Chains A and B, each alone.
Chain A
């Protein structure tokens, strides 16, 4: 009998200890905070993109001193960075979690279109403003009033390249080599083709060759392009394929220029490509070398902190976060009612005029796409991305 009693009291004591321990751990002061969700591909196919996103976001948080002042009151800013594994369904799940669990005010990301399209659907359905720094698929923002993006669209970039080559070199015969299995290169190649043929007539794209993601031997396609008499090659490829294409083109004796798109703008490109890429041109959002003003400040800070020159993803993420910040400030107040605050931020974002970003000035269209200028970059003889020209719509 007695033993049982001690057992009981022992149990009671341990229960009390547990309760006290729990309560002690839980007492936390509640401060007004603004939560910003970052939906980034930290693992999966494009981890470098995820890293750039994360670094830019952390640098931005440091830059603003971890707080935003709205209507005279200072609010702490908290970044909720989540990994989407560069999968569409994960990106949707991450957005749902950010919106319903973490109750973020606004979401920055996802980067690639494959994730941004489904995630944008979630954000729009749950009425939370989202801005994708990198996605170029029209479906990301189409008919979605809550979704915005920072990069220009491919239908704009294609003609930019076509005009630039025509003015710069006076060529009339183009060759195109692109990845048919990836939406970005395919879309851009087609927009370029139609723009070029509008300028130089039917058949002026003398060779329109494709390959599939993961291919490493392009000699057959490059030979065809050379034999068709193309004066230059347009290769809107990601940085990991460009070096192979350029090197193989040179080995096959192709001497004309090779022109690329914003997907070339990775610090890795020159490391992989070496001298073969020197002198090549590509259109992009910003140029690291020769940058001035705020752009240069950003690059220097990033370089000092992380040890390499930021890619366009980092720059666009930076701009997206600043757009978000401006929109929150424009809002005038944070009511604490998350629904009302989200609506307010969305409206403020849609009303931004000539927002001065480091990748150019932006004004959003009805669809949430920016109207902005493109930059033509030349890879210098030192392997640096140098500003060559700015082309506005």
Chain B
């Protein structure tokens, strides 16, 4: 293929070259360096954010990097841009670049310990960043918690729709089962209200038993998944989609008719147990467990089933058992995410777990990328933040988001980061050794 100079592909290449050159010093920054840089940025924001924002003419610190402000009042664009540059981009770039050798040494030192230690150090810093960032406003805190819950839900759906290659529509149903189970458990035991009467246990115990209520919610969701799996896994193709869709509606009408949990009026009064650390820990747990699951033998078998059930079966894979396990496993995590969700919003209503929720989670899975843990995280975080930031656009938001989805489907049909392994070891590695594929100029 010959390319004349100045033609589009050529120009593209030159832009990429230039970007590559700019990016070159940052290629040796390890994850640890980025995290420390982010920590510096949020600390900077905590101490200097408000005076700087005031100085720039903003009333207060922009909530989500100022996108909402720009959409509301375009005149403030330079101020917001300056704020983001001064607080986030420039400090992160400087710190990451100039502490890279130190960070690499630290990272290498950490690799001499078991990987768990390194991972925990990284997670602690990450939590610190989140904690300080959300400490600035309650709005950030709420958005961060919803986003992390979206990650769990998206990951669990990706196990079925991505790794297993079936199309499941019952995730809102599983979330509802988890949400209602956990809510009833906690309200019954730790809250005195007019529906379930006096608290059965002292409320002090509540936060400690919260994990049990979530696991219980997950198990109930898995039991519900069994009801879908038994009839539908005897069939092939679209039947799971239809049966699981039916299941979602069944769960929804079940709760609408269960007067004891509030019926269509919904259930409120959940105690405030889904705090940031709790949601963070559960999100990390879910990522870790799901990632291990999909990379395990069962996960490989699952991929084999997706690519050719007959072939997999011929290669001694117990296809039915594999599919069953994966489906129940996914439902469990959907239930957990539902339980967390119920305790963030502290009011649930059968209508919340309907077709709109399904569309939301599906969009996150397909935007982020099938068959990829990183993809699910990208999709969940991306879509949550986009839809929060674009809120001022009102009706136009529902034109822009679908267009983003359509463009993704056209240019990256399997999602942003599809079919990529999430390798914790590789992420934690120091980056100062010359890599083999540094030939970015020719890329």
Contacts and interface: CB of A to CB of B under 8 A. Distances in A.
B220 to A, nearest CB: 22
Interface stretch (B27-35, B262-270, B290-298, B316-324): B262-270
B82 A96 contact: no
Interface string B143-164: 1001000000000000000000
A244 interface: no
Interface stretch (A97-105, A162-170, A377-385): A97-105
Dominant secondary structure of chain B at its interface with chain A: helix
Interface string A93-134: 110110111010000000001100110010000100000000
A96 B356 CA distance: 22
B265 A137 contact: yes
A83 B352 CA distance: 17
B223 interface: no
User: Which bucket holds chain A's interface residue count?
Assistant: 35 or more
Contact of B265 (A21, A83, A183): A183
A25 B139 contact: no
A344 B394 CA distance: 32
Contacts of B143: 93
Contacts of A25: 57, 75-79
Contact of A27 (B57, B77, B139, B397): B57
A117 B268 contact: yes
Interface in B55-84: 55-60, 63, 68, 75-79, 81-82
Contacts of A27: 57
Interface string B238-258: 000000000000001100110
A42 interface: yes
Given A181-B256, A183-B266, A114 B351 contact: yes
A276 B24 CA distance: 74
B346 interface: yes
Contact of B268 (A18, A23, A99, A139): A139
Nearest to A125: B272
Contacts of B421: none
Given A22-B56, A25-B79, A43-B397, A181 B266 contact: no
A180 B257 contact: yes
A49 to B, nearest CB: 14
Given A18-B82, A21-B78, A87-B356, A212 B253 contact: yes
Contact of B57 (A28, A43, A186, A187): A28
Interface in A11-34: 18-19, 21-23, 25-28
A100 B349 contact: no
Contacts of B56: 22-23, 26
Contacts of B68: 97
B56 to A, nearest CB: 5
9 contacts: A26-B56, A26-B76, A43-B395, A88-B347, A92-B142, A96-B142, A103-B60, A118-B347, A181-B264
Given A18-B82, A83-B391, A117-B349, 10 more contacts: A25-B76, A26-B76, A43-B395, A82-B392, A93-B143, A126-B138, A181-B252, A183-B264, A183-B349, A186-B263
In order of increasing CB-CB distance, the 6 nearest A-B pairs are A26-B57, A183-B264, A183-B265, A118-B347, A22-B82, A25-B78
